[in-house]
Amino acid sequence: MDMETAAEEIKKLVPKEAGLEDLDFEPEFGTVTIEAAKPGLIIGKRGETLREIRNKVIWFPIVKRTPSIPSDIVKVLRDLLYKNSDFRKDFLDRVGKHIHSGWKETEWIRLSALGGFREVGRSCILLQTPESRVLLDCGIKPGTDEFPYLNAPEVDLKKLNAIVLSHAHMDHCGMIPLLYEMGFDGPLYLTAPTRDLMVLLCMDYINLTQKEGKTPAYSTKGIKEAVKHAICLEYGEVSDITPDMRLTLLNSGHILGGSLVHIHIGDGMHNILYTGDIKFDRTALFEPASNNFQRAETILIESTYGSKEDIQPKRIEAETGLVEACKKAVERGGIALVPSFAVERSQDIMAILARAGFDKKVYIDGMIWDATAITTAYPEYLNRELQKLILQQGENPFLNPIFKRIGSQEERMKILEEKEPCVILATSGMLVGGPSVWWLKSLAENSKNMLVFVGYQGEGSLGRRIQKGWKEVPMEVNGKNIAIPVNLEIVTVTGLSGHSDYKQLYNYLSRLKQKPTKILVNHGESSKCLESARNYHASFRTETAALKNLEVIRLK
């Protein structure tokens, strides 16, 4: 059917309540993307409505959700992909031809540690067989100029078949656009929310680097190329990515769209699970990490909290602590400042406050709003409780009227002048740049106010110094350096981490369906990697190793 008539027919078939927003036809693929506020109503009972549409217009319908909070990133991305349908068709054709270029016996498998081993930051792993070369993650090490070892002799971007990205934190995704600028032109496998968040964070990285007067490692061109080469998978969807590798992404419980990377190699020869960053506990946002796979002979697991002493308080205690701190501050007429990371932690705090029935204004400042908007585009990636609330009961906690976005300096000044008790959720999480620093400067002197730390404060950050008890902070005000007395109350809430503590890491390994033959650890300080490798060896009686960067291990 021609596009115009088809559009008319679809509009007739879609129920009014579905909130149809947009129709995009892609003749290259024979598809029509239907964007709506309530995609479930377009799909219909057991896919009835969708089937009816397909049979009537003979276009293959794809349903996408309009984010409940308008998101520029989601819109720009969808437009970019739509404009590049031609390119996408040729690209997917090329990728498909390589994948099905004929299967040969896999003789060996080796794994190269290119970054993020015995350290946190610049995560990067190369997985090789005679047939395949696949890169897992490629991140930056925040606060340093240290990049993954892409100059290792076994790395050749021209011969690389694919990149798999576990999740959109800069220490995992931050260098991916650079690989495309350096000439890589293969596929990038990830979940759709990971793609969107990666764009948000990499754009922010470019902006911040430029503001500091430095040159970013790449431009927006690299980000666009990465998006054009992205192949999005859903959790549990099994996909061939090379002639002898089969990929499945599974929920990692860590951030929106965050994935465990499961790779099946050869015909039943070997299975690898790379955890990326993993949370094996239910949080306000996500289900615990999945262990729903049959086999994984090799496990590569993170060890951010890999020491036996790294035990966090119970989640429920942390959540209560946060709510009580905020209530205490507003009840005495103060403002509670919560410096927070834009992705995950902020939405976590929003969900906790909304669920607790917190009824004072919570102002959202910085990149948090964009990350929240992306979250509202993908409710099916949240935990069952939130899905039920959002999709069935129509109660989206992120749309709660207590939340208000701050868009300008005038709005900030107005909040200060009104002196209305409230909570301010602002980036950055460690008080290094971003509006949270401005807020601290404005709120520090009044002892009615409160500063609530909800995340890790890195060594050398302003947050860490205040946590350690600094009573004055040096600040630049109108071009002059002055010391601001810190009179506001300081509260630290621990236990909201998106990483598993030692007990959760251990539980995850002990609940796998099949005992692994190799446990490799990465993503932790040197001492934690070594300690957890030692402990796992003693407990599970299996080979373990804390590889160093640039070490290579043969898996089979």
Chain residues binding Zn ion by CB under 5 A are: 169, 277
192-211 vs 220-228: helix crossing angle, rounded to 10: 170
* Beta strand spans in 257-304 (E): 259-265, 270-274, 298-302
Residue carrying structure tokens 């190793």: 545
Which residues partner with 126 through β-bridges?
A: 112, 135
Q: Nearest to residue 138, comparing CAs of 118, 119, 164, 160?
A: 164
Based on CB atoms, which residue is closest to Zn ion, 438 or 456? 456
Q: Nearest to residue 501, comparing CAs of 318, 306, 314?
A: 306
Which residues partner with 475 through β-bridges?
A: 482
CB of 254 to Zn ion, least distance (A): 6
Based on CB atoms, which residue is closest to Zn ion, 277 or 297? 277
Based on CB atoms, which residue is closest to Zn ion, 147 or 341? 341
Alpha carbons within 13 A on the beta-carbon side of 490:
15
The first and second tokens of residue 48, run together, are 């009835």
Based on CB atoms, which residue is closest to Zn ion, 99 or 430? 430
Based on CB atoms, which residue is closest to Zn ion, 177 or 253? 253
Cα separation, 177 vs 263, whole angstroms: 23
* Beta strand spans in 79-164 (E): 110-115, 124-128, 133-138, 162-164
DSSP one-letter string for 211-233: HTT---SS-HHHHHHHHHTEEE-
CB of 239 to Zn ion, least distance (A): 23
Cα separation, 61 vs 51, whole angstroms: 9
For residues 303 and 330, the answer to whether their CB atoms sit within 8 Å is no
315-331 vs 345-355: helix crossing angle, rounded to 10: 70
Helices (H), 58-120: 72-83, 85-99
Based on CB atoms, which residue is closest to Zn ion, 339 or 498? 498
Cα separation, 163 vs 19, whole angstroms: 36
Alpha carbons within 13 A on the beta-carbon side of 210:
9
Based on CB atoms, which residue is closest to Zn ion, 277 or 365? 277
Based on CB atoms, which residue is closest to Zn ion, 35 or 277? 277
Based on CB atoms, which residue is closest to Zn ion, 256 or 352? 256
CB of 16 to Zn ion, least distance (A): 41
